[in-house]
Structure 1
């Protein structure tokens, strides 16, 4: 029972505060009722939010109402990617490729790709391009040397290098004292699209035991 309900009028003078108390009690009751209805309205609106947003929906007939999504495949392991790159390198340069018809007939058997002028090999031979990196293949087996050369050329081109040296050796320590890798290196380089030209190195750069290679222009990566 509210405080207003407990008030009792003993005279006409008592009616005014009684009416005032009753009015305040009614106003409080109305406010509480309004607040209750507002809470119910918000709750109902939250329950109907999805239906209001997407509209009416109906379950699919003859099918499971649940929709299953296949899980996304995991990212490939870096190890596998490296193995794949090595396989591509092995397949991209062959030992059976005939290079003799592509070499310039001179005492050094230089190479220049179609469209490359003789001035390019002359400049290479004279040292007009500074050697930026080198790869030494001494001590490597044939398959190791092939993969090392393929990766070296690819990375050199990717990082924007233009002129590199490949040291294949003069074959002084090989059976018959013949250069085992020299012909193979020439054959491999001709098959690499990144290679524009190559010549035998100058004596001070390795002479008959090395090649100076000019690469296609590439975009340097920081």
Structure 2
């Protein structure tokens, strides 16, 4: 269409509609996504590791956390657990009946949720669960905090008989299978 094909009324309406508009000075679209503020992210992560004044008595200690590498496979068994049980657990031959994902939580919040999750699993006589802690490859080269804490906490929990890193389709070294002690509910035929 040419300018001649528009009526004067149309042209006046158009000029009124675009009155005050300015031409775009760049060719990139603004997608509205904020840029990453590395200083705020680092400060937020640091705050996540600081303990609150609230005291949780759950038997899990953070006094000595065993540092582990992101790709390191985890495996631990309490005294008396047979090697064959640990092997079955590692090969996913013992199905897990519950799962929890601790990604994105603070250390304290993850601890609370893990404690509650394990208590609920034991209450329902669940034999095996999966805990996803992630690998957290850190830019600063330090060890993954959540994985290291979960590794330490599970060793301290009275109901945990063993744990081992999952097979790749269940999370690999970012998750662990946890074998739980069962108390055999009264009247259960098992």
**TM-score, scaled to structure 2:** 0.61
Which residue does the alignment assign to 1:147?
Answer: 112
Task: Classify 1:187/1:159 alpha carbon distance in 2 versus 1 (closer, same or farther; 3 Å).
Answer: same
**2:77 pairs with 1:108:** no
1:166 aligns with 2:131: yes
Query: How far is 1:174 from its partner?
Result: 6.7
Residue equivalent to 1:117? 82
- Greater RCO (CA < 8 Å, at least 6 residues apart): 2
Matches of 2:81 and 2:169 in 1, distance apart?
Answer: 25
Aligned residues: 130
Give the whole-Å Cα distance in 1 for the aligned partners of 2:110 and 2:96. 20
**2:9 maps to which residue?**
none
Instruction: Report the structure, 1 or 2, having the larger helix content.
Output: 1
Is 1:94 matched with 2:61? yes
Q: Flag the 1:191–1:120 CA change in 2: closer, same or farther, 3 A.
A: same
Cα deviation, residue 170, structure 1 = 1.2
Q: Give the RMSD, CA atoms, in angstroms.
A: 2.7
- Give the unaligned 5+ runs of structure 2: 1-54
Shift in Å, 1:173: 6.5
CA deviation after TM superposition for structure 1 residue 97, in Å: 3.9
1:151 Cα deviation from its structure 2 partner: 1.1
Q: Distance in 1 between matches of 2:184 and 2:127?
A: 11
Runs of at least 5 residues in structure 1 that lack an aligned partner in the other structure: 1-85, 101-106
Partner of 1:132: 97
1:177, CA displacement in angstroms?
7.4
1:213 aligns with 2:182: no
Which is greater in Rg? 1
What SS does structure 1 have at the residue aligned with 2:103?
coil
Confirm or deny: 8 A CA contact 2:65 2:148 kept in the other structure: no
2:158 aligns with 193
In structure 2, do the counterparts of structure 1 residues 193 and 171 end up closer, same or farther at CA, with 3 Å as the change threshold?
Answer: same
Which residue is 1:56 aligned to? none
**1:168, CA displacement in angstroms?**
0.3
